[in-house]
């Protein structure tokens, strides 16, 4: 098990990493708004190159960031082009490929959707690669997000690997008693049913014990909490956050106006 | 420090009470162990002292239970946290899952109590030294072994400076080496005389080694209470589904075979066994 099993966080000593988590959230949120609300087919790609890539480079994570974006986005992007390009109802064919034909409108739509998808994926990855989840949750809970919600979001991150490990243990135990778990889809599906009950019951016991452990550690206590983890904020960052928020709202407003005008 | 008067408790929908008319006084600084077969009520008693009976498990509690002067039934879990620390068997489930490193995991309770960060650091360092986890301070809690995780659970609770530490079979899910690591930390704790410790345990050899006092629970009733040498060597132990320590068993077998020791007291620890067979 790696030292940080529940996070995609890549530790680096960069200016981006040192930013207050909310500033990073604002930056990434702004990028997301750009991706979703910029008009036209190519502006989102421009935003990716001019906003996301420089931030990733600043964070010093480009060599890991780019392949991650590619790997996540590629299957969707390829299927977007295939499905939309080939099966667009009606449309202007660009060229024929046997009984199929590539449609102009489908390709245009795919370009636009793929750009948005890449922006969503890359801004999410940028945030998770450069931000410790506990720092982000601390920042959020100091700004009014309930502690219990912040906890659930944090703990869920690492319940997934735990859940997988547990499922594998149960599968091994059942396999050793002769349950068929490999073979065609039907056999695999059938093997799922005896897995679900022990997995769920076991997890409920785990959750009960976890709840007790949290109570013992005064999690339910009212009153102000402190933190060992220090968040560094600056007046400049606060200004930047407000500006990003205003800019995001402006873009949304502009789009709504364009939509209404059209 | 711990005061139970006629405590009877039934879990919801249970027909028979899990604890039956229990009365008990444990002074500050005492290391008290409770032994008993599975289902005797050890865990329920631990849960009662930490307030999870009745505040978490619900059910019906009668009589009065007080810890450090606080009436358990009349207070809340949030009030009791920090006054009573609880450590239980599964080391994995005691990790909060919300912290990256061992140091931050220990800090979790202090953060919730609102302890200023400047005060936290020395307390955490001291606790990590005590639990022998200083070298692991910056590792992920999930990278630790079971024994280390359980010591982390103990450190995470002790750092909050509870008046009473309750341990519910802290080594039952650990391998022998992990168990020994945990017990060596508990032995240090027993040696300080400051901590009031209440330990539910099946491993009688360890209980004999450092408990000041041993209670025997049987079907929810307190059936024996006294110093370890007396309780653990008692011939009635097997009636309650408990097996005497191997030292006592060896001594009994030797007596049966005609061995005449200089001191007739049955041994319950290694040191006493050495004396017995000298």
For A130-143, what is each residue's pLDDT tens digit? 998 889 999 999 89
Residue A3 lies in a domain: no
**Cβ within 8 Å of B, A 71-110:** none
Low-confidence spans in chain B with pLDDT less than 50? none
**Is the Cβ of B110 closer than 8 Å to some Cβ of chain A?**
yes
User: Omega into B54 within 30° of 0, i.e. cis?
Assistant: yes
Do A90 and A124 belong together in one domain? yes
Which is more confident, B226 or A259? B226
**What distance in Å separates the CA atoms of residue B214 and residue B77, rounded to the nearest whole number?**
27
Q: Look at the alpha carbons of A180, A181, A184, A189 in this order and tell me if their dihedral is positive or negative.
A: positive
Comparing CB atoms, the residue among A134, A154, A217 nearest residue B112 is: A217
**Is the Cβ of A146 closer than 8 Å to some Cβ of chain B?**
no
Do A157 and A119 belong together in one domain? no
Do A39 and A78 belong together in one domain? yes
Residues B277 and B261: beta-carbon distance below 8 Å: yes
* Inter-chain CB proximity A222 and B88 less than 8 Å: no
* Inter-chain CB proximity A134 and B86 less than 8 Å: no
**Is the Cβ of A232 closer than 8 Å to some Cβ of chain B?**
no
Residue A260 has a pLDDT of 78
Residues A94 and A103: beta-carbon distance below 8 Å: yes
Residue B130 has a pLDDT of 94
Mutate to test the interface with A, among B80, B112, B166 (most CBs of A within 10 A): B112
Residue A126 has a pLDDT of 94
Comparing CB atoms, the residue among B103, B108, B140 nearest residue A217 is: B108
Do A129 and A194 belong together in one domain? no
Nearest-neighbour CA in chain A from B111: distance (Å): 5
* Inter-chain CB proximity A228 and B88 less than 8 Å: no
Residue A102 lies in a domain: yes
Nearest-neighbour CA in chain A from B63: distance (Å): 23
- Give me the domains of chain B, ranges plus CATH numbers: 28-54+76-233 (3.40.50.300), 245-278 (no CATH)
Residue pLDDT, tens place only, B157-209: 999 999 999 999 999 999 999 999 999 999 899 888 788 999 999 999 999 98
Residue A1 lies in a domain: no
**Is the Cβ of A49 closer than 8 Å to some Cβ of chain B?**
no
Predicted ipTM of the assembly: 0.90
Do A131 and A53 belong together in one domain? yes
Residue A97 lies in a domain: yes
**Is the Cβ of A223 closer than 8 Å to some Cβ of chain B?**
yes
Q: Give yes or no for residue A6 having a pLDDT over 70.
A: no
Which is more confident, A185 or B235? B235
Do A114 and A63 belong together in one domain? yes
Do A42 and A128 belong together in one domain? yes
* Inter-chain CB proximity A213 and B153 less than 8 Å: yes
Do A132 and A256 belong together in one domain? yes
Q: pLDDT > 90: what percent of chain A? A: 46
Residue B153 has a pLDDT of 96
* Inter-chain CB proximity B156 and A4 less than 8 Å: no
pLDDT-based confidence at residue A203 (cuts at 50, 70, 90): confident
Take residue A258 and report the two structure tokens written for it.
Answer: 């364009």
Do A119 and A165 belong together in one domain? no
Total structural domains within chain A: 2
Residue A90 has a pLDDT of 81
Mean pLDDT throughout A156-175? 81
Residue A152 has a pLDDT of 87
Mean pLDDT throughout A147-168? 82
**Is the Cβ of A226 closer than 8 Å to some Cβ of chain B?**
yes
For residue A69, give its domain range.
Answer: 15-140+232-261
* Inter-chain CB proximity B88 and A212 less than 8 Å: yes
Residue A224 lies in a domain: no
Residue A227 lies in a domain: no
Comparing CB atoms, the residue among B88, B93, B108 nearest residue A206 is: B93
pLDDT-based confidence at residue A246 (cuts at 50, 70, 90): very high
Do A119 and A241 belong together in one domain? yes
Residue A20 lies in a domain: yes
* Inter-chain CB proximity A225 and B112 less than 8 Å: yes
Tell me what the pLDDT averaged over chain A comes to. Answer: 88
Chain A residue numbers with beta carbons less than 8 Å from the beta carbon of B82 are 218, 221
**Is the Cβ of A183 closer than 8 Å to some Cβ of chain B?**
no
Do A121 and A154 belong together in one domain? no
Do A163 and A71 belong together in one domain? no
pLDDT-based confidence at residue A177 (cuts at 50, 70, 90): confident
Q: Give yes or no for residue A1 having a pLDDT over 70.
A: no
Q: Give yes or no for residue A162 having a pLDDT over 80.
A: no
Residue B183 has a pLDDT of 92
Burial class (CB within 10 angstroms; exposed 0-12, middle 13-18, buried 19+) of A236? exposed
Which is more confident, B5 or A8? B5
Residue A104 lies in a domain: yes
Residue pLDDT, tens place only, A35-86: 888 877 788 999 999 999 999 999 999 999 999 999 999 999 999 999 988 8
Comparing CB atoms, the residue among A134, A159, A217 nearest residue B109 is: A217
């Amino acid at each position: 098990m790696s030292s940080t099993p529940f996070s995609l966080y890549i530790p680096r000593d960069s200016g981006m990493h040192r930013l207050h988590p909310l500033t990073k959230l604002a930056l990434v949120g702004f990028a997301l708004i750009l991706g979703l609300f910029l008009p036209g087919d190519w502006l989102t790609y421009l935003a990716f190159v001019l906003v996301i890539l420089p931030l990733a480079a600043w964070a010093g994570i480009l060599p890991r960031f780019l392949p991650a974006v590619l790997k996540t986005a590629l299957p969707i992007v390829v299927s977007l082009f295939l499905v939309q390009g080939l099966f667009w109802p009606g449309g202007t064919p660009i060229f024929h490929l046997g009984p199929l034909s590539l449609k102009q409108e489908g390709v245009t739509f795919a370009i636009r959707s793929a750009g948005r998808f890449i922006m969503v994926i890359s801004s999410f990855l940028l945030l998770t690669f450069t931000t410790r989840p506990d720092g982000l949750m601390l920042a959020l809970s100091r700004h009014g997000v309930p502690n219990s919600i912040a906890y659930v979001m944090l703990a869920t991150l690492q319940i997934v690997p735990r859940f997988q490990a547990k499922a594998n243990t149960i599968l091994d135990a059942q396999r050793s008693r002769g349950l068929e778990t490999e073979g065609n889809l039907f056999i695999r599906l059938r093997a799922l049913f005896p897995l679900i009950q022990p997995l769920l019951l076991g997890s409920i016991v785990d959750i009960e014990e976890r709840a007790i452990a949290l109570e013992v550690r005064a999690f339910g206590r009212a009153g102000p909490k402190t933190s060992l983890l220090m968040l560094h904020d600056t007046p400049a960052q606060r200004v930047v956050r407000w500006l990003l928020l205003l800019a995001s709202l402006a873009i949304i407003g502009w789009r709504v106006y364009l939509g209404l005008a059209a | 420090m711990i005061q139970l008067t006629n405590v009877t408790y039934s879990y919801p929908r249970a027909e028979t009470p899990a604890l039956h008319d229990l009365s008990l006084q444990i002074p500050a600084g005492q290391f008290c162990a409770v032994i008993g077969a599975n289902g005797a009520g050890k865990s329920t008693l631990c849960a009662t002292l930490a307030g999870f009976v009745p505040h978490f498990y619900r059910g019906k509690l009668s009589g009065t239970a007080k810890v450090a002067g606080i009436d358990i039934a009349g207070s809340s879990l949030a009030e009791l946290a920090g006054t009573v620390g609880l450590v239980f068997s599964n080391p994995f489930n005691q990790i909060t899952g919300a912290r990256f490193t061992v140091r931050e995991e220990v800090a979790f309770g202090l953060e919730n109590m609102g302890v200023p960060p400047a005060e936290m650091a020395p307390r955490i360092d001291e606790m990590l030294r005590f639990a022998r986890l200083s070298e692991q301070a910056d590792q992920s809690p999930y990278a630790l072994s079971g024994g280390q995780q359980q010591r982390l659970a103990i450190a995470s609770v002790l750092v909050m400076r509870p008046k009473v530490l309750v341990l519910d079979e802290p080594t039952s899910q650990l391998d022998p080496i992990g168990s020994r690591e945990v017990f060596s930390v508990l032995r240090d704790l027993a040696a300080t005389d400051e901590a009031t410790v209440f330990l539910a345990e099946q491993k009688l050899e360890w209980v004999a080694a450092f408990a000041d006092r041993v209670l025997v629970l049987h079907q929810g009733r307190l059936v024996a209470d006294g110093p370890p040498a007396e309780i653990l060597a008692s011939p009635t132990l097997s009636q309650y589904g408990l097996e005497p320590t191997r030292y006592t068993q060896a001594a009994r077998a030797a007596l049966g075979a005609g061995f005449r020791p200089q001191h007739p007291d049955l041994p319950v620890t290694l040191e006493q066994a050495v004396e017995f067979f000298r």
